[in-house]
Structure 1
């Protein structure tokens, strides 16, 4: 989520799994090879990569939050703008006060879905045709909300949007329509300023029979299992005590998580047993990382440079091992 210069606003994020407590790297800790920045973006042009979806060939689709754009980035760093969300005359997005494109998800057919937060009736989920084209709003979300992370459950054809301002997970049919509240509660809520930055539910993923959500202000990772009727089951707090979590991804079929720590410019591995460690840092090229994607052993980490103000980029690294049992 954007960390904008004052007074425009700020954004935060953090991560972990199990009741997280700092722990030194162990012999099971992943190591990365071939760590490299494959694409550099223009900060002055608002090319601040906020979220990522992967294409079958390993290329990436990124949301450029402040430019209101969606871009396609190839593995050799070539960048093409797929779509630009429409300008809003008087944006009044909570906390940010600017119109921003946030979460992104990709359908089987290549259709892209993005969250657009504006503080107006344009706030909601928008659909972009495969290979680019004119965006179209398919679901309107509350103007006083801040839709952030977005996940698609391909099995059921349902989109889940995490609302950072309203502490809500919205459920919307993939075809579009009226959103419904899927989950809501204190553990999704933001903390009020000055104890918090105003960001509650942030990153979101569908994984192994549950919806996982990070809460930036509270430094937590939550798991909502699916009830038999598809509703949200009792929430489990699977991580506490870490600051700076934005979005996250699973490096395998297990419950270990790779999370982007925005403020400290770090990537963290958090395990089910409650241990965590830093696996990539600013020295590797991270610049306020905002999200993570994993394809096989390749890890993608966009960085938006919201506070560093240097080198928004896309970093790739290769894992030596996957985490399918943890």
Structure 2
């Protein structure tokens, strides 16, 4: 079977990136164990899970990238489609040419926000009500951009979106309106070899954290008192194929999805890292991570499978992390 369009032209270039050696094990590392796949999805129907947000009951809200759907998966593996983004007649999405739903964020009242990349005026942030239903576009982003990771600062009523094509972070008012470029730096840019720069995005510890797939890095951008972006800090390197990520506790230890290599990487606060799950555990090009209490959720999109692609949702146990 041919590879799916997403990043297909990029696969060879990614493998050429050098990977730094992982650091030694630490006594303070959280452990990830007992992985199990709770549901398998339909690759042919475009049910390639790109991003994840968790519900209070432990259910996972997933964006099915090429199906243009947002679906909810319970911990016992029951999947329900909540909404479908509008079909685009002639999508011109950069690097792909297909319309995809990417990042997702959840408000406390259950409202969902998703990024939609289309190459048209429909590119931007869309809102889905707590009960599902028809999505509504609340902000338009550049048609030649690629909105990817998405995070919500509900206290400041602001959404942050990583743009993989332009290599910037956008700030979007929660009520909708005109987005502004919040962070713009060479550390966020794509490269000629890998045209996907800023990718995953999380708000954590007074900062916006961003992964850069092209540079294989994890970045921290402090949020200043006036809400502007501070100087970008490179917190980890050598994370070849990094997509999205999530933090394990109150510190800066994170779990990062390495899509190309079908690995889940533990990234310590000092920047060293080690692999904790692989394809042997059920990963198939993992795209994102979510952690709540003692459970880690890892969606796999199987974008680069050459035969029998297995997009799925994997759950595992994670120990408490003191870091």
Q: Is this a same-fold pair by TM over 0.5? A: yes
Structure-2 change in CA distance of 1:119 and 1:189 (3 Å): same
Report the Cα distance in structure 2 between the residues aligned to 1:209 and 1:40, rounded to whole angstroms: 36
**Which secondary structure state, in structure 2, belongs to the residue aligned with residue 44 of structure 1?**
helix
Report the Cα distance in structure 2 between the residues aligned to 1:217 and 1:6, rounded to whole angstroms: 15
1:314 — aligned with what?
313
Task: Determine which of 211, 215, 231 is the counterpart of 1:234.
Answer: 231
List aligned pairs for 1:270-309, cutoff 5 A.
Answer: 270-308=267-305
1:119 — aligned with what?
119
Structure-2 change in CA distance of 1:8 and 1:256 (3 Å): closer
Asked if structure 2 preserves the Cα contact closer than 8 Å seen for 1:115 and 1:126, the reply is yes
**Residues 173-217 of structure 1, C-alpha deviations (whole Å, 9 max, x = no match):** 11111000100111111001xxx2200000000001000001000
Measured after TM superposition, the shift of residue 6 of structure 1 is 8.3
List aligned pairs for 1:132-281, cutoff 5 A.
Answer: 132-192=132-192, 196-281=193-278
Report the Cα distance in structure 1 between the residues aligned to 2:140 and 2:223, rounded to whole angstroms: 24
User: TM-score, length-normalised on structure 1?
Assistant: 0.92
Task: Count the aligned residue pairs.
Answer: 315
Measured after TM superposition, the shift of residue 297 of structure 1 is 1.4
Q: Does 1:49 align with 2:46?
A: no
User: TM-score, length-normalised on structure 2?
Assistant: 0.93
Measured after TM superposition, the shift of residue 244 of structure 1 is 0.5
Report the Cα distance in structure 2 between the residues aligned to 1:70 and 1:6, rounded to whole angstroms: 18
Structure-2 change in CA distance of 1:7 and 1:164 (3 Å): closer
Which segments of 5 or more consecutive residues in structure 2 lack a partner in the other structure? none
Report the Cα distance in structure 1 between the residues aligned to 2:39 and 2:144, rounded to whole angstroms: 34
2:98 — aligned with what?
98
**Which secondary structure state, in structure 2, belongs to the residue aligned with residue 187 of structure 1?**
helix
Asked if structure 2 preserves the Cα contact closer than 8 Å seen for 1:13 and 1:261, the reply is no
2:33 — aligned with what?
33
Measured after TM superposition, the shift of residue 28 of structure 1 is 3.8
Report the Cα distance in structure 1 between the residues aligned to 2:6 and 2:281, rounded to whole angstroms: 28
Asked if structure 1 preserves the Cα contact closer than 8 Å seen for 2:66 and 2:99, the reply is yes
Asked if structure 1 preserves the Cα contact closer than 8 Å seen for 2:236 and 2:272, the reply is no
Structure-2 change in CA distance of 1:5 and 1:170 (3 Å): closer
Measured after TM superposition, the shift of residue 57 of structure 1 is 0.3
Asked if structure 2 preserves the Cα contact closer than 8 Å seen for 1:13 and 1:245, the reply is no
Report the Cα distance in structure 1 between the residues aligned to 2:82 and 2:263, rounded to whole angstroms: 29
Structure-2 change in CA distance of 1:13 and 1:50 (3 Å): farther
**Residues 137-186 of structure 1, C-alpha deviations (whole Å, 9 max, x = no match):** 00000000000000001221110000000011000111111000100111
Report the Cα distance in structure 1 between the residues aligned to 2:135 and 2:176, rounded to whole angstroms: 13
Asked if structure 2 preserves the Cα contact closer than 8 Å seen for 1:13 and 1:246, the reply is no
Measured after TM superposition, the shift of residue 308 of structure 1 is 1.9
Structure-2 change in CA distance of 1:283 and 1:206 (3 Å): same
**Residues 61-84 of structure 1, C-alpha deviations (whole Å, 9 max, x = no match):** 000001000001011100011011
**Greater relative CO (CA pairs within 8 A, separation 6+):** 1
